[in-house]
Structure 1
Amino acid sequence: MGPPVIDPDHDPPLWCGSPLRNQRRLWTLWSRRRRLTLAGQFLILQLVVVAVVLTIVGLISVRQSNDSFASERGAQMRSVSEYLANLSVVRAQIDGPAPARSLAPAIDRAVGLSGATEITIADETGRALSSSDPRLIGEQVELGDSRVREGRAWVGTVDARGRRFVAAHAPIIDDSGELVGLAVAEERFPSFWARLTNAADELVLYLGAGAGLGIAGSWLLARLVRRRTRGLEPHEFATLADHREALLHSIREGVVAVGTDDRVTMINDSARSLLGLGTDVVGRRLDTLGLDRAVVDLLTAGSDSQDAVLLVGERVVVFNQRSASSRGQGIGAVTTMRDRTDLVAMQGQLSSNLSITDTLRAQTHEFANQLHTISGLVQLGEYDEVTSLVGVLTRRRAEITDAVTRRVSDAAVAALLIAKSSVAAEAGVTLTLTADSTLAALTPHTSADLTTIIGNLVDNAVDACKGVTDPAVTVALSDDADEVVLVVRDNGPGVPEPLRDVVFTRGFSTKPEQPGGRGIGLPLVRLICTQRGGSVTVAHDAGAVFVVHLPKEAA
């Protein structure tokens, strides 16, 4: 076929831009016009349906021809075998000195009467004594699953000498009632072509029915496809697909679809950017893309989830997932994702403020109790007791403050530890700063991050060891030129090994759900450490042990 001819009255102007671009446009247009139309595709489908129907009908006709041949000729072979078995000459000569010659006339008459392919008389063991085919004399007759040796006549099919036969077996019984031989009549099945020719009349009928069904099916399919596709042609499908791709990749939110086999079926540019993936993602399994285990588990969960927050690299990503189904069967899940790093950082700051508020509330409660005690003593006139109590309270507060400030030079961290001691005391927990702790003054940003970390870990530790005997929480601080090392211990039940990574996942908590959210403290600690290039780990040593390495910010 030659090059395409462009009709300026019907085709859009293509002669613009570079010659290479014009050539590509011409080839695209030509290729589209060479494609089969929807009607052409239906015609091919119709021909395929007719061919399949014809093949099936041919096989059915041949099968029916086989069954008919076996039924009709089997009855004839049975009559012949029983006729031979009942001949007196056969019963008399079967034990004679030359049965091959003496039984031949009876066999020839039986072949002439029945048209059988082969007729054989055998002894009781199945060895041929006389046959219409002399080559079979002395050979073992193929009996198949026949029960003729038990004295019962049998009709069926056998495979002998590389061919298939309709066979009938009849027992030869002497006057004393003993089995002395077998009468076997066989007729070979006709060839496949002969059977197909015999069924020609039926084939013509079935072919006509198949062609009619093919035409009707093609017409119905055309109507169905036209209704389902709203009258769109194939090139319009391609246009819609292009528009869909353009729309999908222009969405700011990340979108990823995962099939039931955990393979990515669709992903847009925003999702690739948020997850740090390349372009060769579609069709690959999620566990081969190098994503964090928590992200893979969420994307392959296949269940509905809302606002699940995970740390992906240095980004805090919010995931929303909906399961997808077609005709009542699940086909995977579609997950949307948004970058919420700044929002979660603000939420972390709010969490720190709430922690400070709780600390102030605990101190207020402690001071109120002390003031009530002093007020009662004044009303009772016990002024010496008032003086003694005030001295004790002043010394206790001074001891706590001195114990912290001698080891911690950063004012914000020291103030937080002093305030947390009041919170712990209110909960009946002893909070202790180790004697070897030391911390120099920090930059404002490092100090703010460290106070957030200490506040969350101490709160979790206090909650964890409530209810145990002599609950206690120990805080150890050390720093060098590059980083601050924080160790928070408690004597609670600890964190089981299978949960030591899960506890840092947003939403996970062993406590009852509280108003305002749950399971954000430890994820926030990991987020802060990760953003600074540090780390947080948890171990078990007579309770939970959290170890934080927080790099310092340059002054």
Structure 2
Amino acid sequence: MTQVTHVDAKEVVVIKNTSWSRSLAGQFLAFQLVVVAIVLIAVAAVSVAQSTSEFREVRGLRMIAVAENMASTPIVRDRYSDPFADEFLAPEVDRAVALSGASLAEILGPDGTVRASSDPARIGAQTDLGPSRADEGRAWFGDAEVDGMHSLIGQVPILSSDGDVLAVASVSEGYPSLWQSLAGAGERLVVYLGLGALLGMAASWLLSRRIKRHTRGLEVAEIAGLADHREALLHSIREGVVAVNPDGVITVLNDSAQDLLGIGADAVGRRADEVGLEQAVVDFLLSQANNPNGNGADENDVVIATRSRVLALNRRAANSQGRRIGTVTTMRDSTELAALQAQLSSHRSVTDTLRAQTHEFANQLHTISGLVQLGEFDAVHELVGTLTRRRAEINDAVTQRVSDPAVAALLIAKTSLAGESGVTLTLDEDSRLRALPPALATDVITVLGNLIDNAVDASVGSASARVTVRIEDTDGLLIAVTDSGPGVPLALRESVFARGVTSKPDGAGGPAEKRGIGLALVRLVTAQHGGHAQIGDAPGGGASFVVRLPASALATGALGAPRA
């Protein structure tokens, strides 16, 4: 058995040759031939019906005319009741048959007895007049059985001077056979039927070839098998798969994608911007679909943060026979990976803080060492006291308002780190925070740390270079961080929480590909606790980031009020 391998869209399909009788093209050809045969039979049936109807109308009137002519013949009127009527009237009935082309001509008595006939064997036979009205004095034509033959009969009464029915002149002709009816319809009908059959067979053969070409030579069972394998593959893999055609309509959506995007299977067949997806995901899916030239570059592992997940998306253009048919996007849930990244960022922040403090302490020790060498012991005493008081002021400013040790340590560390960058970090005097459950404290550190880092980076180089932090737990949890930077444009205030979006200038905060994830984590963590994050303008210029968590987030595991 021959095997042909066809490669398309990075898939290999093995096509097996099957017998023509079992192939899709062969079955379609056979079906089309059956249809053509049915049409031909229907045309023939209509033609026969029309021919029969015309025969009945035309020949029926002809039969009555011949019967009237025979009934009006004087010898018939004089000899119809003669005992030897069959001999005297034989020439007349034979003449009627010869002139009309009828099958049978007869003279019947009022009771239906045959008195004279073109068929001598019927003389004396009894004929049932049936529905005939001739015995009532009216001419009539219709159908009847004559010697077992379906015939058309025309009957005319022979009336006396008083109007009584004396006899009946009857002329009949058998209906033509099926082949006679078809032949009677004209030779052109046979020609047309033959041409129709030939054209139908040719069209069926061409159409079957076209179907075979467009189905890549696959037969019905093979197409069904491919469809089953496709469904099993799409709905069993853990990665989400979304296919979008050039019109932006979702054509494929597997189970994992439904779960990751929070939409149902009814999204298939609808545009991506009509199924309730977040705008960042919609923009990503339609970025190539909206490009009429289809020249958009594929994207690998683009991170998009929705309100509940962090997704890593990979997009590829889909082509068939050199024509772009859409895009295929795969996605993975990177929420846990983003959480690990946040923890690593926190550790890196602590490392940077320790490095800054080490640098600061080294400078202070060098100063003290120099003063000792100069013998300026009073200056040493004054410097150490100043440094102690400054450190104590920073610690007291934080710990008097923030009772959670992890959050307080973060604020103290960030104060030193901001100072190294020339930015003043202050805690608002109205701030109050009780001790938090360990899990919540970790999330608060993630949110607060990213907001402070973002604010410090934005404030570097500004006129006042100041960052203010406000934390309240009176009604839920409020975290507000304002900076003195350039602010966030209105057009970016929603998308800044999505993937890779940042308001920082180039070079700020590290390489561009590694920025933009901090605010995405802020929104993700906030949404997981049922809260929300928003961006506004700071009173003195710059940006204000506000995160609010509901009271239910603080209800579990609260350890007490803040220290005085």
1:404 Cα deviation after fit: 1.4
CA distance in 1 between counterparts of 2:281 and 2:24 reads 45
Partner Cα separation in structure 1 for residue 226 and residue 428 of structure 2: 68
Q: Distance in 2 between matches of 1:418 and 1:37?
A: 77
Contact 1:316 1:339 in 2 (8 A): yes
Contact 2:309/2:334, CA 8 A, preserved across alignment: yes
Q: Distance in 2 between matches of 1:237 and 1:532?
A: 48
Equivalent position to 2:429, from 435, 442, 455: 435
- Work out whether residues 43 and 218 of structure 1, in 8 Å CA contact, stay in contact via their aligned partners in 2: no
Give, in whole Å, the separation in 1 of the partners of 2:319 and 2:219.
Answer: 27
Specify which of 329, 340, 345 is matched with residue 334 of structure 2: 340
Cα deviations by residue, 1:344-385 (Å, 9 ceiling, x for unpaired): 212211111111211111111111111121122222322222
How big is the shift at 1:264? 0.9
* Aligned residue identity for 1:38: A
In structure 2, the CA distance between the partners of 1:362 and 1:243, relative to structure 1 (3 Å rule), is: same
1:232 aligns to 2:218 (yes or no): yes
Q: Tell me if 1:291 matches 2:277.
A: yes
1:494 aligned residue (470, 484, 487): 487
The equivalent position to 1:316 in structure 2, one of 310, 315, 318, is 310
Q: Where do residues 334-373 of structure 1 align in structure 2 (5 Å cutoff)?
A: 334-373=328-367
Name which of 482, 498, 517 aligns with 1:505.
498
Q: Which amino acid aligns with 1:437?
A: S
State the number of aligned residues: 363
1:445 and 1:553 in contact (8 A); partners too: no
1:254 lines up with 2:253 in the alignment: no
Looking at structure 1, the residues matched to 307 and 377 of structure 2 have their Cα atoms a distance apart, in angstroms, of: 63
Q: Which amino acid aligns with 1:523?
A: A
Q: 1:394 to 1:261 in 2, by over 3 A?
A: same
How far apart, in 2, do the equivalents of 1:287 and 1:315 lie?
Answer: 19
In the other structure, the counterpart of 2:527 is 530
Flag the 1:483–1:521 CA change in 2: closer, same or farther, 3 A. same
Distance 1:313 1:434 in 2: 29
Q: Which has the larger radius of gyration?
A: 2
1:82-93 equivalences in 2 (<5 Å) = none
Aligned partners of 2:357, 2:458: CA distance in 1, in Å? 21
Separation in structure 1 between the aligned mates of residue 24 and residue 327 of structure 2, nearest angstrom? 35
CA distance in structure 2 between the aligned counterparts of 1:407 and 1:328, rounded to whole angstroms? 66
How many Å separate the matches in 2 of 1:405 and 1:232?
75
Secondary structure in structure 2 of the residue aligned to 1:308: strand
Amino acid of the structure 2 residue aligned with 1:349: Q
Aligned-partner residue type, residue 527 of structure 1? L
- Counterpart amino acid of residue 250 in structure 1: S
Q: Which residue of 1 aligns with 2:94?
A: none
Q: Does residue 329 of structure 1 match 2:323? A: yes
Residues 305 and 521, structure 2, Cα contact 8 Å, conserved in 1: no
Match of 1:456 in 2: 450
Q: Percent identity?
A: 56
**8 A contact 2:23–2:219 mirrored in 1:** no
Task: Evaluate the alpha carbon distance shift between residue 321 and residue 548 of structure 1 in structure 2; reply closer, same or farther with a 3 A threshold.
Answer: same
TM-score normalized by structure 2? 0.59
Q: Which amino acid aligns with 1:257?
A: A
Instruction: Map 1:379-458 onto structure 2 (within 5 A).
Output: 379-458=373-452
Contact 1:263 1:283 in 2 (8 A): yes
* TM-score using structure 1 length: 0.60
Q: How much does 1:309 deviate?
A: 2.4
Output the CA distance in 2 between the equivalents of 1:363 and 1:311: 34
In structure 2, distance between residues paired with 1:270 and 1:447:
32
List aligned pairs for 1:16-35, cutoff 5 A: none
Contact 2:28 2:204 in 1 (8 A): no
Q: Does 2:462 match 1:468? A: yes
Contact 2:24 2:212 in 1 (8 A): no
Cα root mean square deviation, aligned: 3.2
Deviation at residue 418 of structure 1 after TM alignment:
1.4
What SS is found at the alignment partner of 1:533?
Answer: coil
Counterpart residue type for residue 425 of structure 2? L
Matching residue of 1:39? 26
Per the TM alignment, residue 337 of structure 1 is displaced from its structure 2 partner at its CA by 1.3
The verdict on how the C-alpha distance between 1:230 and 1:538 changes in structure 2, with shifts beyond 3 A counting, is closer
User: Cα–Cα, structure 1 residues 397 and 332, in superposed 2: closer, same or farther, change >3 Å?
Assistant: same
Q: Residues 512-540 of structure 1: CA distance to partner in whole angstroms, max 9, x if unpaired?
A: 46368222111111111111111111101
SS at match of 2:426: strand
Query: Is the contact made by 1:287 and 1:296 (CA closer than 8 Å) also made in structure 2?
Result: yes
Query: Do 2:307 and 2:523's aligned partners in 1 also have CA atoms closer than 8 Å?
Result: no
- 1:137-152 to 2 correspondence within 5 Å? none
The SS at the match of 1:330 is: strand
Does the 8 Å CA contact 2:302/2:313 hold for their aligned counterparts?
yes
Unaligned ranges ≥5, structure 2 = 1-20, 36-190, 289-295, 558-564
Query: Partners of 1:309 and 1:553 in 2: how far apart?
Result: 33
Q: CA offsets, 1:14-57, max 9 Å, x none?
A: xxxxxxxxxxxxxxxxxxxx999413535888999xxxxxxxxx
**What residue identity is the alignment partner of 1:498?**
A
